[in-house]
Amino acid sequence: MKISVVIPAHNEKDYIEKCLKSLFSQKRKPDEIILVDNASTDETATIASKYNVTIIKEPRKGTVYARNTGFDSAKYDLIVRTDADSVPDKKWLYEIEKFFIKNKDTDAVSGSHFYLGVNDTVNSAMFLQFIALSKMLLNHYPLIGPNMALTKNIWQKIRSELCLNDKIIHEDIDISIHINKVNGKIGLAKKAIVHASMRRLIKNPTSFFIEYPSRLRKMLKDHDIKPVYLNIKKITKIKLPKI
């Protein structure tokens, strides 16, 4: 099994080097790293060029365009994605590969998405609560942009059906919905951990607590997925597995 790592990046000069250093320090080394320079106007590409990575320019601004360009360009059968401001754990790729080897019928996985600067116990509880709620809403695991992997085979199956306007969708969840529509199997590799920046949440907290759920609800409706309305009693009964 060979692994292509794809990193969409728009003006990430302050973060990209730390991300790349973490990838080159992996226990299981990536077989290729693709950085998609998504209309950057800073030194993102210049910094990345110091490393053994493939840099591809995508002039159409938007995560969906950058992601698609990177995934389409991936050479290998397992496509793994993270964000330019994220820092994968040293065993990240090792745990993802181990999950796919053990679960041969899996088409895609999410790993654990922790925030930089937050206690890991708190991170674990927050992440698993999100996963549990998302699975109740979608009836399958979601995919998470900074920490996801999928086979090239499933990517080619769903590529033409994906939504392109990332202003009205959550592009990572959109992928998981379309994988589910073709009866693909999505797993959860809890030990594959990526620490992500909280800068977007800090900059605009209302987007996380108001706009994010609103956009998700509209997505479910547009994809003919009946939303599940949760009450506090139901939420408190969700059993959270340990990481």
23 pLDDT exceeds 60?
yes
Domain positions in the chain are 3-236
Least confident residue range of 19-23, 213-217, 231-235: 231-235
Per residue in 86-144, pLDDT (tens digit) is: 999 999 999 999 999 999 999 999 999 999 888 888 888 888 888 888 888 888 999 99
Q: What is the mean pLDDT of residues 78-84?
A: 98
CATH superfamily of 3-236: Spore Coat Polysaccharide Biosynthesis Protein SpsA; Chain A (3.90.550.10)
A 10 A CB-CB count for 7 gives 29
Task: Identify the CA nearest to 14 among candidates 49, 47, 63, 50.
Answer: 47
More confident residue, 208 or 65: 65
pLDDT in tens, 25-48: 999 999 999 999 999 999 999 999
Provide DSSP, 144-182: -TTSEEEEHHHHHHHGGGS---TTTS-HHHHHHHHHHHT
Task: List the structure tokens of 128.
Answer: 């698993």
CA atoms of 58 and 69, how far apart (whole Å): 7
Question: 80 to each of 92, 113, 114, 194, how far by Cα in Å?
Answer: 10, 14, 17, 12
Amino acid making up residue 131: I
Q: How far is it, in rounded angstroms, from Cα 131 to Cα 112?
A: 9
What pLDDT score was predicted for residue 125?
Answer: 84
Rounded to 5°, the CA angle 213-16-210 comes to 10
Q: What is the pLDDT of residue 166?
A: 81
For 214, counting Cβ atoms within 10 Å of its Cβ (0-12 exposed, 13-18 middle, 19+ buried), the class is: exposed
pLDDT, tens digit, for every residue of 182-229?
999 999 999 999 998 877 666 666 666 667 777 778 888 888 887 555
pLDDT of residue 227: 56
HSE of 157, CA atoms in CB hemisphere, 13 A: 18
Beta carbons of 174 and 161 less than 8 angstroms apart? no
Task: Report the DSSP pairing between strands 87-88 and 54-57.
Answer: unpaired
- pTM of the full structure: 0.89
